[in-house]
Structure 1
Amino acid sequence: MGLSRVALLLQTLGATDWEAFQIHGRFFLAVANSQRVRERGPSLYSINSTLYELNTLTHSFIRFQDILTHSAVDWEFFTVGEEKFLIVANSHDGSSYSLNSVIYRWQGYEGFVAAHSLPTVGCRDWEHFSTEEEGSFLVYSSATSRLSKVLKLRTF
């Protein structure tokens, strides 16, 4: 494998993470934008993070959806049964590290819609895992706490 040419440039704002995922044969990229640095004044932390979809005709990624995030540092895509989800690690809003991280559910034409808010403190990373016996779990790490939380997902 060798390096190729740059295929595309995507605008970001202090990007800290990319999450690539596929839904029903469609390919997506989600960028976690952490901050907009301004020439004067403090940085802005409550900014949009963007989801891009691959246009297979033009071989380029196009803006699919903007989601308001608060110094986002991680996206995690996961499935539970047939349902598709994205969770964002919101870490800081400029004044507090105690923020909700949000789970978004795939709604097809509507894109991702907020489904649950989870209280977190200085959230840095989300990971999903599942077992046949116990079901699905989410675990998050915190940059400001000594404890990480493992959450068992309930399905209805």
Structure 2
Amino acid sequence: GAMDFAHFVIEGSSYLAVANYKSREDCYGDVECLNPVGSQPVENTTQLPYNVPSHILRRGAGGDFERVQALPTRGALDWEHFVISGEHYLAVANSFDATYSTPLTNSTVYKWRGASFHRFQDIETNGAKRCRYLQRDGAHMLIFVSAAAGGESAALH
């Protein structure tokens, strides 16, 4: 289900990025019930409720939002939209990779290229919960906040 929304405007069109955490309710609260840590990777994607796409919606002329793009995410909890030198980016905080049953997964930065977002950069994270963009003294920073087995942390990229 949806855990976060990010609203942004590109070239006069309103968009919503929807962060989907997982696809179904079985195994709720027990992330290892489908694929215990240390077991072989799961091949059947129907058994990977956390590896689900998150969606980009665009507001249409009639005022309704319609799905225009699906982006691969893994336990997505947060989206952050930001602009650098006129270029639009979206960063997603991925919290759990069900393929390997681990919070050690890449969070991804996507870049807008004319009509859709494309993968720009993967950043290794550990149970990322939030991401925030900051600009200070001319430097652009992306911060991921994590809360996994190793404790809470924030990583600056």
Give the TM interval when normalised to the shorter protein: 0.7 to 0.9
Using the alignment, how far apart are the partners of 1:47 and 1:149 within structure 2? Answer: 24
SS at match of 1:46: coil
Q: Deviations over 1:81-139 (max 9, x none)?
A: 11110011110022010000010000012x000010000000000000112x2321111
Detail structure 1 runs of 4+ shifted over 6 Å in the superposition.
none
Which residue among 34, 37, 45 is the counterpart of 2:24? Answer: 37
Using the alignment, how far apart are the partners of 1:37 and 1:60 within structure 2? Answer: 26
1:27 — aligned with what? 14
Q: Could you tell me the percent identity over the aligned residues? A: 30
1:106 — aligned with what? 112
2:87 — aligned with what? 83
1:7 — aligned with what? none
Letter in 2 for 1:74: D
Q: Deviations over 1:60-90 (max 9, x none)?
A: 0111100111010000000111111001111
Q: How does 1:3-152 map to 2 (within 5 A)?
A: 14-37=1-24, 42=34, 44-55=49-60, 57-94=61-98, 95-109=101-115, 111-131=116-136, 133-144=137-148, 145-151=151-157
Q: Structure 2 stretches of 5 or more lacking a match? A: 28-32, 35-47
SS at match of 2:153: coil
Letter in 1 for 2:5: W
SS at match of 2:16: strand
SS at match of 2:77: strand
Does 90-99 or 42-51 show the bigger shift? Answer: 42-51
Letter in 2 for 1:16: M
What do you get for the CA RMSD once the two structures are aligned?
A: 1.7
Using the alignment, how far apart are the partners of 1:29 and 1:58 within structure 2? Answer: 16
Letter in 1 for 2:80: E
Using the alignment, how far apart are the partners of 1:150 and 1:134 within structure 2? Answer: 15
Using the alignment, how far apart are the partners of 1:106 and 1:68 within structure 2? Answer: 15
Contact 2:75 2:94 in 1 (8 A): yes
Contact 2:130 2:146 in 1 (8 A): yes
